[in-house]
Amino acid sequence: MRLAFVPPRYGEGVLGGAEAVVKEAARGLAERGHQVEVISTCAVDHYTWENELPEGVSEENGLPVRRFRVLRYPSRVALEAQLSIGSGGLPDLDHQVSWLGYQFSSPGLFQYLLRHGDSYDAVVFSPYLSWTTAVCVPFLAERAVVVPCLHDESYARLRVLRPVMAAPAVVWFLSGPEHELAHQLGAIAPHHSVTGAGVVVPHRYHPARFVAKNNLRRPFVIFAGRREGGKGSLEDACVAAEQLGMDVVTIGKGEVPTELANRVIDLGFVSDEERDDALAAATALVQPSVMESFSRTVMEAWLAGTPVVSVAASAVVSWHCRRSGGGLTYSGHQELVEALRAVSSQERAAELAAAGRRYVIENYTWPAVLDRMEASLEAAFCSPKMVAA
C-alpha cells in the first residue's frame, strides 16, 4: 500500500507518545514493503511551535519526509476558548472553531493533502487534538486512519473534534480504557480496533554505567516524561522517597517546578540509550500521570527489569498493571510509601518486573503490533466490504 503518516512534529529530538508511535509504525510498515511517506511541519518543540527545520522534502532514516511551515496567529477569540477549555469549560461552537488554530496552523500542509491525498491508499493521522488531524481528517475521511491518543479531558468533549473519531475510515486505539472512553464520548468509525503500540526491545542495558556517570549514591525512583499539566505531580514522589531514604531522578523535557528543584536529580533530555540505562538502574518507575492513552515509559521500564508504581486514577496504567501483574498502584501518600517500600525488596521487585517484561514481550513488540495494523488496513481498504471491528 502507499501510506502517508501525518504527525504535527517528526524527527530527532521530538518528544511525545503520539509522535513516537507514528515514527516507529511508519518505519516498521516501510520495512514490510509498504511505500511510506511522512507529511509534517517544520516544528520540533510543542511549546514554541517555531519553524526549526527546513521546508521541503528530505530523506530521514530511509523515509521521505515532506515538511511545511507553521503559522501562529492566535486570535483573541481562540485565546478565550483556550482559557475556557483549560479550566474545564466547553465554549460554544464558534469559539471551538476559532480554537482549532490556537497553537498553530499549516496551510501548505492542508493544501497539499487536498490536492494529493487521493494518491495514497491510506493517510494516518495522530493525535486527535492536533490541528493537522482535526482540520484535515474530514476532507480525507474515506482514506483516513486516526490514532487518537485520547485522554479523559475537556478537549475530548469538544463538539468540533467529534468528526475526528466518527468520520475516518479507521480508528486505532492504544489501550482498552482508551477504546472504552471513546465509546462513552460519542460515535466512532465503524472500523476500529485496539492495536496497541509497539516498544523497541533494547539489546543490552548498563545500569552500573548510569549510576557511576551521574554519581548516584542512594537507591532512586525515576520519573520519565514531559513536565506539564496533566502529567502528574512529582511532589508526592519526592516526599515518599525522602521518607524511605531514596532519591528521585527525573528525565525528559520541560521545567521541574522551582519548589522541587533541590529535591530531585534532574538530568533533562537524554538519549534513548541513557534512558534505558536509567530505567534499568532505578528501584521503580513512578508514574503519577493520569492523562495516558498507552504509556510507553511503563513498557520501557518493564523491559528494563524495573517495576512500576502508578497512581490508581490512571485508568490506562492501572489496566496495564492489572493485566500484567508488573506494577503497584496507589491512591494517596501512605499507599505510595507502602508501594515504594514493597518494591525496595529485591525479591518483590524482581517478581513484578519479570511479570511486566513478559507482558510487553507478548503484547507490545512491534512485530505483533504491525501485524494488527496490517490486518486492519487490509480489512478496511483491501477487502470488498469494510469490516467492523
Q: Cα angle at 299 between 293 and 304, to 5 degrees?
A: 160
Distance CA 288, CA 314 (A): 8
- How many Cβ atoms from other residues are within 10 Å of residue 295's Cβ? 25
The reported pLDDT for the residue numbered 263 is: 87
Q: Phi/psi of residue 267, each to 5°?
A: -100, -5
Residue 67 has pLDDT above 60, yes or no: yes
pLDDT digits (tens, 9 = 90+) for 328-338: 999 999 999 99
pLDDT of residue 15: 75
pLDDT in tens, 344-370: 999 999 999 999 999 999 999 999 999
Is residue 203 predicted with pLDDT exceeding 80?
yes
Using the predicted structure, report yes or no on whether residue 232 has a pLDDT greater than 80. Answer: no
Of the chain, the percentage scoring pLDDT greater than 90 comes to: 81
Strand-pairing partners, residue 247, are 220
Helix, strand counts (H, E) of the chain: 15, 14
4 phi, psi to nearest 5 deg = -120, 140
* pLDDT for position 145: 98
Which pLDDT score is estimated for 47? 86
Q: Which residue has the cell 527546513?
A: 54
Mean pLDDT of 267-293: 93
Give the C-alpha separation, 69 to 105, whole Å: 9
Check: CB of residue 380 under 8 Å from CB of residue 169.
Answer: yes
**pLDDT at 230 > cutoff 50:** no
Residue pair 25/7 in contact (Cβ under 8 Å)? The answer is no
Check residue 226 and give its pLDDT: 66
**All domains of the chain, ordered by start, with CATH?**
2-198+366-382 (3.40.50.2000), 207-363 (3.40.50.2000)
Taking a C-beta distance cutoff of 8 angstroms, is the pair 168, 193 a contact?
Answer: no
Mean pLDDT score, 305-323? 96
Mean of per-residue pLDDT scores for the chain: 92
Peptide bond between residue 190 and the one before it cis (omega within 30 degrees of 0): no
Confidence at 225, pLDDT banded by 50, 70, 90: confident
Using CA atoms, how far apart are residues 140 and 207, in angstroms rounded to an integer?
A: 47
Count the Cβ atoms, other than its own, within 10 Å of residue 271.
8
The C-alpha cell that represents 221 in the structure block = 525512583
Which ranges in 167-271 belong to alpha helices (H)? 176-185, 207-213, 235-243
Three-class DSSP category at 310: strand
| Residue 118, C-alpha cell as written in the block | 487521493
Proportion of the chain in helix, strand, coil states, percent, rounded to 5: 45, 15, 40
Please compute the mean of the pLDDT values over residues 272-294 and round it to a whole number.
93
- Mean pLDDT calculated for residue range 51-79: 94
- Fill in the DSSP letter of residue 257: P
Per-position DSSP letters for 187-215, written without gaps between them: ---SEEEE--------S---HHHHHHHTT
Give the closest residue to 294 by CA, choosing from 369, 185, 183: 369
Q: pTM of this prediction?
A: 0.90
pLDDT tens readout for residues 113-126: 999 999 999 999 99
